[in-house]
Amino acid sequence: MMKHLLREKFGYTSFRDGQEETIKAVLAGKHTLAMLPTGSGKSLCYQLPTYMLPGATLIISPLLSLMQDQVDQLLLIGEKRAIAFNSFLNYQKKMSALKNLHQYKFIFTSPEMLQSKLFMERLSEINITLLVIDEAHCISQWGHDFRPDYLAIGTVMEDLGNPPILALTATATDRVKQDIKQSLNMQNSIDILYSVDRPNISLHVEKVGSYQEKIDVLIKRVSALHGPGIIYFSSKKTAEICAQSLKENGIKRVSIYHGGLNHEERILIQQQYIHNQLDVICATSAFGMGINKENIRYVIHFHMPMNMESYLQEIGRAGRDGQTSLALLLYAPFDEQLPRQLVETELINDSQMEKLRQFFLEDSLRWWELEKYEEEIIAIANLSETSMRLLKDFHRNAILHHKEATSLDELKEMMNKQLQLKFEAIHTVYQYIHMSTCRREKILQYFGEQPTINIVECCDHCNGSNYPNLQAEKRETMPEYENWEEILQEILLSETSKNEE
């Protein structure tokens, strides 16, 4: 039955490492923690068993765009019983979705939606036979993408009928894995843990003297490399500048991708890239999750990554076909200052905390009606979008446990702890950049592993600075269209035709 579904529903003839073991554990009704490498097809681990289970699967994901991508992927294989229930939906669509929730087989949502009384009432009325926690490291306070709202998941399990849990992640240290299991009460779980290593990806760091030299080196490297590639940036503006510079230097099939694009623009760029109509994407971290493209030959980091976990996830989008691929990190002096600044901006500092404390002390009712004062709070405390989200996440969890504004002391302690952890994570990346021994061994040791095989194209320290020979990909000629709607329609029609054949 499993192999038949794999072939008929998803078009695959065999499972990837970890998939079959995970699916069998899920079908046996066991709590399961699966740490599978980026590109191993983690979504199949809940999609396939959902068709074999009687009820619906609830998938909790931290990213709204990733939810929609997963729904779109299911639509492409003909599955119409999938919905992303999140803040993207307007009031009318939410009411319609709630009314018809029992008709869906795949229900994607965000952790904050679990605080909605109406949503939880409807979920409790339907048969949830599997609960999936995607990007499960977000649960752990030691995880690189910790989200306070994830802490509430354990408190709603009974309302959902205590279904089996599948916690999925690509990168988690031993400490984070234990934290996940404790938060979700999964002590007796089946753990399916695969190595984070991707032996076919050659690891390189190239140091340059300045920002402009980095752009020049980027143009030189991309001009010489074959195949589709992704270049990651921490700044939308820099991504746009570099994309334009690449075009001016003869690399025409390049596009940008960041959180500022609307949904239609994101779909268009993703589909063009998947169908080999674009060679290079200059992107922020918003790009890559849920993208099913096996022939990406290289991933370049223009800016220094925030931590080893996200770095490993992003370079893991290369070489999913098993062919030799390249991960290149460019470094200029003082590059570590940018991630430190970003961390300080996204977290709530002591000064902002005192302004928040005073605001709520002036009128205690404000704490219980925080949503009403959002704009005022942002202005008074000078909070960034990320900082405000953290405050709202914490607030929802505090209200759930009937905690008053004095719980801001807990938030302050949490922010200071997170600041220290994130600074330590940045320093680990800094050490990785400046090390003089095997880079792969450093990554494996960070995740509690040891090298087990000799790799020909290991890293620049093991094999010298020469980049691996990347196989050139056949390019498709893009027809001329008047606007993006025509391009998207052509791509989707082509995809539909393939599914019908």
Tell me the helix, strand and coil percentages in the chain, rounded to 5: 50, 15, 40
8 vs 286, which has greater pLDDT? 8
pLDDT at 480: 47
Q: Which has the minimum average pLDDT: 17-31, 33-47, 284-298, 300-314?
A: 284-298
Tell me if 196 sits within 8 A of 447, measured CB to CB. yes
Question: What residue spans define the domains of the chain?
Answer: 2-193, 201-338+457-500, 343-424
Segment 349-360, tens digit of pLDDT? 999 999 999 999
Q: Give 253's pLDDT tier (boundaries 50, 70, 90).
A: very high
Give the pLDDT of residue 106.
97
CATH number corresponding to 201-338+457-500: 3.40.50.300
Computed over its alpha carbons, how large is the radius of gyration of the chain?
A: 23
Instruction: Output the pLDDT for position 471.
Output: 56
pLDDT band at 246 (very low <50, low <70, confident <90, very high): very high
Q: What is the dihedral of CA 455, 456, 457, 460, to 10 degrees?
A: 90
Distance between CA 286 and CA 259 in Å, rounded?
6
**CA gap 106, 53 in Å, rounded:** 12
Between CA 345 and CA 43 the distance in angstroms is 32
Contact 295, 475 (CB under 8 A): no
pLDDT at 493: 54
pLDDT tens for each residue of 105-139:
999 998 888 888 899 999 999 999 999 999 898 88
Please give the sequence-ordered ranges of beta strands (E in DSSP) within 30-138, or none if there are none.
32-35, 56-60, 82-85, 106-109, 128-133
Handedness of CA 36, 69, 245, 294 (dihedral sign): positive
CATH topology of domain 2-193: Rossmann fold (3.40.50)
pLDDT mean over 225-241: 94
3-state SS, residue 106: strand
Topology match between the domains 2-193 and 201-338+457-500: yes
pLDDT band with cut points at 50, 70 and 90 for residue 63: confident
- pLDDT above 80 (res 47): yes
What would the pLDDT profile of 166-185 be if each residue is shown by its tens digit? 999 988 888 899 999 988 88
- Asked whether the beta carbons of 112 and 396 are under 8 A apart, the reply is yes
For residues 23-35, give the mean pLDDT: 96
Tokens 């390189």 correspond to what residue? 204
- Alpha carbon 384 to its chain centroid, in Å, reads 21
> Measured between alpha carbons, how far is 415 from 353 in angstroms, rounded to an integer?
10
> Are 279 and 211 contacting, i.e. CB atoms less than 8 angstroms apart?
no
| Selected residue with higher pLDDT from 416 and 485 | 416
* 242, pLDDT greater than 70: yes
